[in-house]
Amino acid sequence: MSSKILIIGACGQIGTELTTKLREIYGVQNVIASDINTRNLDLVNAGPFEIIDAKNYNAIKDCCKNNNVKTVYLMAALLSATGEKYPMEAWDLNMNSLFHVLNLAKDKVIDKIFWPSSIAVFGPTTPCKNTPQHTICEPTTVYGITKQVGERWCEYYYKKLNIDVRSIRYPGIISHKAMPGGGTTDYAVEIYHEAIKTGKYDCFLSKDTELPMMFMEDAINATINLMQADAERLTIRSSYNLAAINFTPKQIFESIKNHIPEFSITYKPDFRQAIADSWPSSIDDSQARKDWDWKHEFDLEAMTKVMLKNLRQKYNTDH
């Protein structure tokens, strides 16, 4: 039996599109999608799918052994905003799921892991402009703490046990398929939906809050390119900084307004403002560009065009 890929948390914002792309590359039957529920029916019906709780070591192990899975993409997590509401659940899921896949590699069941970190590893004491790869990381959210600790464990397993684990510190990811799952950068997805559906948006961040962001297609390409890169070229086994575009709510609003002149916005910052304020406004990703030739394609204008085109089709409107 040829070796297979397992995606845990495949029904989420990133997992949905990662699964589709991996299936295009490796074949539908070679990529098993899994999640804790079947809410994303398009994905569930598109190829092999299993219900797997990322906190259940035996469930992951059985799936890997039964299907000769050798590579795992661990996408299940509780994100930044939800993590602040359920801190212990975030710690439990984000840490234990990572230990499970790291230990599966240690036990030689699988031999390659992708685990995403986040710009949430940074905090208010981090230099916030052009944040370096190696810098102060004092995160103030539970989510950020889990990502920071996760990075340390990834590097530890690589150095002590030679586990091939690879990671990216994703910025805010913008996409038009699955909705985002409770992060602080969700506004940059919601704003496109509301522009098409209602012509107005009430933003939960203030108008000048600049954050690092990326269009989904770039994020998926980065993920797959990192996983395909020669191991010898990789110098970072904690997690790579990754960047594409930085913008504020006002700038994304103006980019949409160029296409929908009657679009309007109001700003009503909530608890997510404090989270956003603790994160960098731009990221230095030169190490990723050097080590595995990372290059982004989409700027704000290109992304706005694709988002509006696809959402107009989705909502069946030429608004």
Ligand X SMILES: NC(=O)c1ccc[n+]([C@@H]2O[C@H](COP(=O)([O-])OP(=O)(O)OC[C@H]3O[C@@H](n4cnc5c(N)ncnc54)[C@H](O)[C@@H]3O)[C@@H](O)[C@H]2O)c1
Binding site for ligand X (CB under 6 A): 8-9, 11-15, 35-37, 53-55, 75-77, 79, 93, 116, 118, 170, 172-173, 180-181, 183, 185
* 3-state secondary structure string across the chain: CCCEEEEECCCCHHHHHHHHHHHHHHCHHHEEEEECCCCCHHHHCCCCEEECCCCCHHHHHHHHHHHCEEEEEECCCCCHHHHHHCHHHHHHHHHHHHHHHHHHHHCCCCCEEECCEEHHHCCCCCCCCCECCCCCCCCCCHHHHHHHHHHHHHHHHHHHHCCCEECEEECEEECCCCCCCCCCCCHHHHHHHHHHHCCEEEECCCCCCCEEEEEHHHHHHHHHHHHHCCHHHCCCCCCEECCCEEECHHHHHHHHHCCCCCCEEEECCCCHHHHHHCCCCCECCHHHHHHHCCCCCCCHHHHHHHHHHHHHHHCCCCC
Distance of closest approach, residue 279 Cβ to ligand X, in angstroms: 11
Nearer to ligand X, 116 or 123 (CB): 116
- For residue 192, indicate whether it is catalytic: no
Q: How far is the CB of 29 from ligand X (least distance, A)?
A: 22
**Based on CB atoms, which residue is closest to ligand X, 146 or 233?**
146
What's the closest the beta carbon of residue 185 comes to ligand X, in angstroms? 5
Shorter beta-carbon distance to ligand X: residue 83 or 105: 83
CB of 317 to ligand X, least distance (A): 25
| C-beta nearest to ligand X: residue | 12
Q: Which of 143, 170, 187, 201 is catalytic?
A: 143
What residues are labeled active site?
143
